[in-house]
Amino acid sequence: MRQTFIKIIRSPWALLLPLPFWAVVVGLLYWHNQQILDEAGYEMARQRGEVAFTLIQTMRHWNTEHGGVYAPLTEDTPENPYLDVPEKTITSPSGIQLTSLNPAYMTRQLSELMQGSELEINLTSRRLMNPNNQPDVWEAKVLNYLEETGASEYVETQGEQLRYMAPLYMEPGCLACHAHMGYEVGDLRGGLSVSFPKTYIQRMTHELHRESRSTHLLAFLLLSATGSLAIYGLRRLLTSLNLERSQREAIIHERTASLHEEILRSRESQQKLNYLAHHDELTGAKNRRWILRQLDNLLEAGDLEPLNLAVIMLDIDHFKKINDTYGHDAGDQVLKNFVRTLQQELRETDQLGRYGGEEFLVLLPHTSQEAAWKVAERLRLAVEASLTSYQTHQLKITTSLGISLQPQQPVDSEQLINRADEALYQAKKSGRNRTVIWGT
């Protein structure tokens, strides 16, 4: 065996032995890295669609809370023939005719303005009042999927477009216009779709893919060259009969250490990519996809008794005011300090994730209503007592929290989150800096 090994090392082709070995190793690492980058690109696409949906939905909530808004009556903004409300068209004291815009009409006008741009939106309905809200084939398919699965969103590549869609549910403020259609609060009313070119994500990940190719090619060349040099050195050692054994071992150790360092650097790069795939880059908290998957896993495990799983949704009160007053750098610092404060107060079994913007979710398995209340209040008081240093300012914030618990009759993760969101809304409506349990 030893003689065979020596014969192979002394062969003129021995210097090429590292090439196929490192080609396979680096190729597998590169392939795995590409999978992670593709997943990161998908996540960026989903986040862009989510941001656009959240912005439009916030505008629609604002419109609903004000009972609709008025705009000048023009050719581009005629009366809404599908809106049946008192004072649909009025005349201002100065003689300008104004027509009422409900959330759907306002969304339709925004959709027409954005038509042809790099970001398009479209409002669709399950039961049509306005024929313009007829879903296309893709939207109809996704609406069926959302209704059957209860999913909170759907993302898919369609041709050269990336399309995102999230459901719209019937809310109390919507009944004024839609109650006659047989809707009840909580029914799936339709959806809002967002589409943008696939090249947007390609532009975002192009540089990462280029760096990945360069890094792996360089690693392959270095590892292959190092391996060839190691074999070359070994050949010289074998041909130097007077070289002491200790010297030969030292040289081999040096070559091995160099290879080990290259592998460690590659492993560290891989670990960093894995971390970014499951964590929010700004705050270090787990990201939305991870926390939603954990909630689904808890519900699917089936080992939790009713009223023994709590979901807390919380956000920072008046966060927009911080950004407007001190800038987004200050807002980022507040978010990071907010997460640190929460993590210091949570128990080992509790799970924290960033849901979006300044909203976070906390999962409390094996926790009763009374214990969930105590955890939420501990978080609220800790945030109220904390200070964020930014330049010469000491920024003080508060948080509002909404709690939902798994009921006697099991519900899915979307319903638990919606109930926590409703409780959070009540906490905001009641004056902020407080905790509200859904249904109490």
Nearest-angstrom CA–CA distance, 133 and 110: 13
Nearest-angstrom CA–CA distance, 370 and 133: 45
**Predicted pLDDT at 427:** 96
Total domain count, the chain: 3
Torsion over CA of 376, 381, 385 and 389, rounded to 10 degrees? 20
Q: Are 316 and 338 in contact (CB under 8 A)?
A: yes
Nearest-angstrom CA–CA distance, 270 and 201: 21
Does any domain span residue 56? Answer: no
Domain co-membership, 328 together with 351? yes
pLDDT-derived band at 242 (thresholds 50, 70, 90) equals very low
Helix and strand counts by DSSP (H, E) for the chain: 12, 14
Domain co-membership, 176 together with 308? no
| pLDDT reading at 315 higher than 60 | yes
Please give the residue range of the domain that contains residue 16: 2-36+203-278
Kindly report the backbone phi and psi dihedral angles of residue 134, in degrees, each rounded to the nearest multiple of 5, phi listed first.
Answer: -60, 125
Domain co-membership, 349 together with 385? yes
Instruction: Give the lowest-confidence range in 11-25, 106-120, 123-137, 414-428.
Output: 11-25
**Would the pTM of this model clear 0.85, i.e. be above it?**
no
Three-state SS at 75: coil
| pLDDT reading at 240 higher than 70 | no
From 278, 300, 321, the end of a domain falls on 278
For the record, the structure tokens of 28 come out as: 């597998």
- Mean pLDDT for 51-76 is 87
- Higher per-residue confidence, 376 vs 47: 376
**Predicted pLDDT at 288:** 95
Q: Are 175 and 187 in contact (CB under 8 A)?
A: no
Nearest-angstrom CA–CA distance, 333 and 344: 17
**Predicted pLDDT at 238:** 63
Q: Give the helix/strand (H/E) hosting 192.
A: strand 188-197
Q: Are 158 and 138 in contact (CB under 8 A)?
A: yes
Nearest-angstrom CA–CA distance, 21 and 228: 11
Query: What is the identity of the amino acid at 283?
Result: T
**Predicted pLDDT at 250:** 64
Task: Order across the sheet with 435-437: list the strands.
Answer: 351-356, 359-365, 309-316, 399-405, 435-437
Beta bridge partners of 353: 286, 361
Does any domain span residue 81? Answer: yes
From 171, 201, 231, the end of a domain falls on 201
Tell how strand 399-405 and strand 435-437 pair up: parallel
| pLDDT reading at 9 higher than 60 | no
CATH no. for residue 395? Answer: 3.30.70.270
Instruction: Give the lowest-confidence range in 166-170, 254-258, 333-337, 408-412.
Output: 254-258
| pLDDT reading at 241 higher than 60 | no
Instruction: Give the lowest-confidence range in 41-50, 168-177, 390-399.
Output: 168-177
**Predicted pLDDT at 304:** 64
Domain co-membership, 250 together with 358? no
Query: Please, what is the end-to-end C-alpha distance for the chain in angstroms?
Result: 78
pLDDT in tens, 150-201: 888 988 888 888 899 999 887 776 666 665 666 677 778 889 899 988 887 7
Angle at 300 between CA 297 and CA 302, to 5 degrees: 120
**Predicted pLDDT at 179:** 58
Does any domain span residue 44? Answer: no
Nearest-angstrom CA–CA distance, 259 and 428: 58
pLDDT-derived band at 13 (thresholds 50, 70, 90) equals low
For the record, the structure tokens of 156 come out as: 């898919």
Does any domain span residue 95? Answer: yes
